[in-house]
Amino acid sequence: MSSSFMSLPFWIPRGLGVVDGIARVYESELVLEFEVNESMFRIGTREVVLPFEEIESVSFRRRGLLRNALLFSARRLHPASSVPGSRAGQFALYVTREHKNKAREVESLVSYGLARRDLSGMRDALTPRRRNLRTFDDIT
């Protein structure tokens, strides 16, 4: 992991409780650290690491007057299933209005990381593979 990162506080509604946490964006992964609270009891703290290879898309959406959300779609069910409130590989991290601009920055950073991942995959697909090719120097 790189030492530079951006963090964003978030919350996820969960029945009678709530999940409070911090999302950290590193160069090649998203780390969600959160604690689960059910009514008056704190259940525990967990950390979920989602490499950019496992994230399909991210988008920032307004949800009502006071709520904003970062919506994530995963490529597979397993990585996203560890996030509370995930369904079919999708989950939402809600942010307050005061963190709206920071949430848009996180969206940009993750989108940039996804674009870099896609470009790297395209570059690898276009690179010719050498298979026992003999060069002029090998012949002489």
Q: Which residues pair with 24 in a beta bridge?
A: 7, 31
Question: Is the CB of residue 31 less than 8 Å from the CB of residue 52?
Answer: no
Instruction: Report angle CA 29, 102, 56 to the nearest 5 degrees.
Output: 35
Q: Alpha-carbon torsion 67, 60, 20, 2, what sign?
A: negative
Question: Is 112 a domain residue?
Answer: yes
The pLDDT > 90 percentage for the chain reads 55
Question: Is 102 a domain residue?
Answer: yes
Average model confidence (pLDDT) for the chain? 86
For 90, the domain range is 7-126
Question: Is 132 a domain residue?
Answer: no
Question: Is 24 a domain residue?
Answer: yes
Query: Once rounded to an integer, what is the mean pLDDT over residues 57-62?
Result: 93
Question: Is 94 a domain residue?
Answer: yes
Listed in order, strand segments (DSSP E) in 3-137 are 6-14, 17-25, 29-38, 41-51, 55-63, 67-74, 90-95
Q: Alpha-carbon torsion 48, 53, 54, 57, what sign?
A: positive
pLDDT at 3 over 60: no
Question: Is 140 a domain residue?
Answer: no
Q: Which pLDDT value is given to residue 31?
A: 95
Query: Once rounded to an integer, what is the mean pLDDT over residues 33-53?
Result: 85
The domain total for the chain is 1
50: CATH:
2.30.29.210
pLDDT at 35 over 60: yes
pLDDT at 2 over 50: no
